[in-house]
Structure 1
Amino acid sequence: MGDCDSTISEVEGEENLIAAARHIVKALGSNKKLTFSARKTLAELGSQLSTMAALNETKGVGVSEIEDRLYAVEEKILSWEEDQSMIWDSGPEEASEYLNAADEARKLTERLESLCLNKDDDEYKLLHRAHNVLQKAMERLEEEFSHMLVENRQPFEPEHVSFRSSEEDVLDEGSIISFGDESIEDSLQRDSLSRASEEYILDLVHPDVIPELRCIANLMFNSNYDQECYQAYSSARKDALDECLFILEMEKLSIEDVLKMEWVSLNSKIKRWVRTMKIFVRVYLASEKCLSHQIFGELGAVCVDSFVEASKASMLQLLNFGEAMSIGPHQPEKLSRILDMYEVLSDLLPDIDALYSDEVGSPVRIECHEVLSRLGDSVRATFLEFKNAIASNVSTNPFAGGGIHHLTRYVMNYVKILTDYCEILNFLLKDHDEDDPSSLSPDMSPTKEEENKSSISPMARHLRSIASILESNLDGKSKLYKDASLQHFFLMNNIYYMAQKVKGSELRHIFGDEWIRKCNWKFQQHAMNYERASWSSILSLLKDEGIQNPGSNSISKTLLKERIRSFYIAFEETYKTQTSWLIPDHQLREDLRISTSLKVIQAYRTFVGRHGSLLSDKHIKYTADDLESFLLDLFEGSPKSLQNSHRR
């Protein structure tokens, strides 16, 4: 006993030293730059200082007095053993008394431990008894702690802080495989995510119980029941975080589940994931870390550890979905959705790095960076696959009516949507040209105008490349038509559509006016070639060559009648054929009708006017006005016939 008494006497004169040391430990413990191990050591030192302070408080207490005090504490603690109700539900006075009794049990246990007892001493039995009382008190406090966390959980109402899209989960089925969705522009519309209320701290637990939770946590940690408190907190908050994800409709899916999912369902889940990430990280996790600080803020590193332990599983669940998307098939219809995922994760990266800045949070932080990198790789691979899909899209039959092919509509609406991701795509495609030499075609070389300015962006190069691949594919599809005029008609329609899509959208700034001028020139050339192929042979029937009498310059009435009859037959056949052809664009349709009408009507008026005296009314089947009216029926996509018609 002599050594123990000596130790106690040395402690008696150290109150000021202990207080100063505890102040230093607390200050150092709040330093976020310290390593996890250093902060843990400081926490342990703080606990030892608390023990020394407790020894000072009880240094003058005798064993008999300790036994009396222990008896009183024991009576209080055991009085709640059989009671099924919760102490903190009985009112603040009862809760305070129980907390004081538990703290007294801690002090008495520490005092008895300091006496260096032998197993044969009566005091040792007293120590064993004190341990039992303290254990029962800590077990009850753990139960009360968990109960308060669960029962005082605040309801999570995401509609108050959500980042809504302009349309709620519209399911789309647009697919590069079929290119048959006429509503592809609508189906590929990007979510418009509001950035309102992004910095929003919620009270996840009712504020009134925070001081009580903090008192219980401090006492349990001071009593060396830190693991029990830590685990109780983590378990309760894990459940709360799981409930949050459930409310946000983010179900737990394995990578295998995601890879097996149909695109319609997967597309909806990606949209939900994008919105959930913003709410979960910027609102819920920020609030979760705040709650952890409110309860464990006085205990140093425990504050960070408890937050990470509680939130890690939920965060990794969300990142697991991102990883599944990055390793799945690189189907082109997924590109805009993967870009949405990349964008939101990239945007949230500083928030996640800040939330998990300590060493204990590094697994989440590292996983987040890795998933972002994999999503970037997936974007590049999907972009390349999109090009391959366009190039390899094969048709076995000509496109009916020579209108705008589904492939053209899909691709141009697709690249139009990609303008929303200029910054991301320029970043991700910056060094991709070297990896994919086929990405640039000869048509894509910079113009002098561009060389005089800054070099074109990576995204511009790749979108021009896509347009070039599409044009090459359309050229191959045009060869399926046996009629040369319909080949040019088809290319005119599709190239005009491409030009209009670029000219009337943000694509204009990416493709540039020079590209639009080239495109306009191309479709005008095809329009001119169509007219030549369709009408040159018909208009040649309205020329005088071949209708003169042999050996004379006079016109043969017989040959003239035969010539005008041949013209009507050719015109009627062209009318019947080309009323079934389609020009969807109203302006282009009108322009081509006017151009064709000017040539045909002028030639017809001239021919009939010159030779009308040699022809009777029965030979003049149609007037010029009739023909002009007939030409207005062309390119509507509805076949008509004039073979049995009479003069209008």
Structure 2
Amino acid sequence: MADTVGKPAEDVAGAPNGIDSRELITVRLALDAGIKSSRRIWDADGNCTSRNFLSAVDKALCLAEEDPSARRYLDHDIDNAMSHMVAQIQIVRVWKASQLCVAVDRLFPNAADSMSTSDRTTTTGTVSSGMELDASDGIQCWASSCVPDEFAALVDGGLEVLDLIRPAGVSVLHEIAQRVICAGYTKQFLQKMESVPCNVLDRFLLILLVQCPRRTTGIWIKRWSMVTELVEKAVVAMRRQLYAQDPGAFDNFRDEYLQITSEGVVLHLLRLADVSTVTSHEKLEYILSMYEALSDAAPSLLLLFSGEHKQRVSERTLDTLTRLADVVKTMVSGVMAKIQSDPSATPSRAPDGGVHQVTQYTMTCVERLAPHRTVLGLILCS
């Protein structure tokens, strides 16, 4: 208390001429009290819980704009206040995944059975991309099976009709952005966006990271292809819904915000596509599905990025496609080697007069690879 009482006296002596020193001291104390009193300025529903702090921020910015000497005097306090303000972007909930989880639950109907007890009781979690997940939005909605018709419906426009955004959260972003611009803290604001969670896109990563951690299994490879398609559609839907919100100061940042948010998940998804350890040619069709899913989604995804974001995503996408193509070529060589194995080691005809096992194997391969013949031909010719 003694420190608090003594500080205003020092401030009075150093106050700029022509400005009420008591007003400056009141603003400084209000800023300090607001920062110390609560980690949150807004609650989860977007309601302001620290109106006095916001008023003090606005007053400080107004004084600083009117008089450069006041800006210098309040510089440290404004810096602390804006750091506190910018940090709110990591707390405010802009996206919601509740309707999305209902839709995905139809794709994976055994979700409740496939989650462990610890998964079902955990309130929050993180994926390795560093994003926090909120179980209240349905973290346990993934399962091990899939309904093809439901998946097709979701990919072919189902995501467009889902309510993925919280308007109250966007309003908070407008309030933050308005003060960030006024204070000249746009650079810090953009930097903080790099660690902002997006529970809509993270839900798709959970299909891979929570339910199917072994990357070399057939089900994981099939899920990766599905998730790639869904992420591309989800990003498009998120962009449309964000742009449909009421205009405000955050409009200056929304393109960069979407790119940063999407880039983190897309790059993480591409890193997960490392299937270089898969050598079994029985999984060839799954690797081809991965290649097709990524090559189909890439054009739309790249349209969402620009500048350095686009360059990073483009380079990683090309690298991933190249790696997948190399795996496919290795697998095809394995298939050919098996078909062309030493005929002397096996009778040319099945003992019972039926179809020879090599013939059966060949026909099975042809049947399973037929849907992928176009992309397979492109890979083998490259």
TM-score by length of 1: 0.43
Measured at CA, do residues 144 and 342 of structure 1 come closer, stay the same or move farther in structure 2, by a change above 3 Å? closer
Give, as a single letter, the amino acid of the residue that structure 1 aligns with 2:24.
L
Q: Cα RMSD between the aligned structures?
A: 4.0
- Matches of 1:381 and 1:192, distance apart in 2: 33
CA contact (8 A) 1:217 1:295 kept: no
Question: Which of residues 196, 200, 209 is equivalent to 1:236?
Answer: 196
- Matches of 1:333 and 1:167, distance apart in 2: 26
Give, as a single letter, the amino acid of the residue that structure 1 aligns with 2:236.
A
* Structure 1 residue 420, shift from structure 2 partner: 1.4
Following superposition of structure 1 onto structure 2, how do residues 629-644 of structure 1 map, counting pairs within 5 Å? Answer: none
* Structure 1 residue 409, shift from structure 2 partner: 1.7
Q: Paired residue for 2:136?
A: none
Query: Are residues 1:157 and 2:100 paired?
Result: yes
Cα deviation digits, residues 200-235 of structure 1 (max 9, x gap): 245545222311222112312331222443344332
- Matches of 2:96 and 2:291, distance apart in 1: 33
Question: Which of residues 376, 379, 384 is equivalent to 2:328?
Answer: 379
- Matches of 2:246 and 2:86, distance apart in 1: 14
Q: Paired residue for 1:286?
A: 236
CA contact (8 A) 2:97 2:200 kept: no
Give, as a single letter, the amino acid of the residue that structure 1 aligns with 2:254.
C
- Matches of 2:266 and 2:248, distance apart in 1: 22
Measured at CA, do residues 391 and 364 of structure 1 come closer, stay the same or move farther in structure 2, by a change above 3 Å? same
Could you say what secondary structure the match of 1:236 adopts?
coil
Measured at CA, do residues 280 and 247 of structure 1 come closer, stay the same or move farther in structure 2, by a change above 3 Å? same
Query: Are residues 1:351 and 2:300 paired?
Result: yes
- Matches of 1:85 and 1:194, distance apart in 2: 41
Following superposition of structure 1 onto structure 2, how do residues 176-215 of structure 1 map, counting pairs within 5 Å? Answer: 194-198=151-155, 199=157, 200-201=159-160, 203-215=163-175
* Structure 1 residue 356, shift from structure 2 partner: 1.8
Question: Which of residues 221, 225, 236 is equivalent to 1:270?
Answer: 221
Q: Paired residue for 2:90?
A: 146
Give, as a single letter, the amino acid of the residue that structure 1 aligns with 2:196.
A
Name the % identity: 22
Cα deviation digits, residues 577-621 of structure 1 (max 9, x gap): xxxxxxxxxxxxxxxxxxxxxxxxxxxxxxxxxxxxxxxxxxxxx
Measured at CA, do residues 131 and 97 of structure 1 come closer, stay the same or move farther in structure 2, by a change above 3 Å? same
Measured at CA, do residues 249 and 66 of structure 1 come closer, stay the same or move farther in structure 2, by a change above 3 Å? farther
Could you say what secondary structure the match of 2:174 adopts?
helix
Measured at CA, do residues 236 and 291 of structure 1 come closer, stay the same or move farther in structure 2, by a change above 3 Å? farther
CA contact (8 A) 1:281 1:351 kept: yes
Between 1 and 2, higher relative CO (CA 8 Å, sep ≥ 6) is seen in 2
Measured at CA, do residues 65 and 153 of structure 1 come closer, stay the same or move farther in structure 2, by a change above 3 Å? farther
* Structure 1 residue 375, shift from structure 2 partner: 2.7
* Structure 1 residue 79, shift from structure 2 partner: 3.8
Measured at CA, do residues 308 and 395 of structure 1 come closer, stay the same or move farther in structure 2, by a change above 3 Å? farther
TM-score by length of 2: 0.69
Query: Are residues 1:131 and 2:86 paired?
Result: no
Query: Are residues 1:106 and 2:50 paired?
Result: no
Question: Which of residues 267, 276, 290 is equivalent to 1:316?
Answer: 267
- Matches of 1:384 and 1:79, distance apart in 2: 69
Cα deviation digits, residues 375-423 of structure 1 (max 9, x gap): 3344344334322220016574655423323222221122012221243
Max radius of gyration: which structure? 1
* Structure 1 residue 73, shift from structure 2 partner: 2.9
Measured at CA, do residues 329 and 160 of structure 1 come closer, stay the same or move farther in structure 2, by a change above 3 Å? closer
Measured at CA, do residues 68 and 361 of structure 1 come closer, stay the same or move farther in structure 2, by a change above 3 Å? farther
After TM superposition, the structure 1 stretch with the greater mean CA deviation from structure 2, 335-344 or 70-79, is 70-79
CA contact (8 A) 2:165 2:242 kept: no
Number of residue-to-residue matches in the alignment: 324
- Matches of 1:282 and 1:379, distance apart in 2: 26
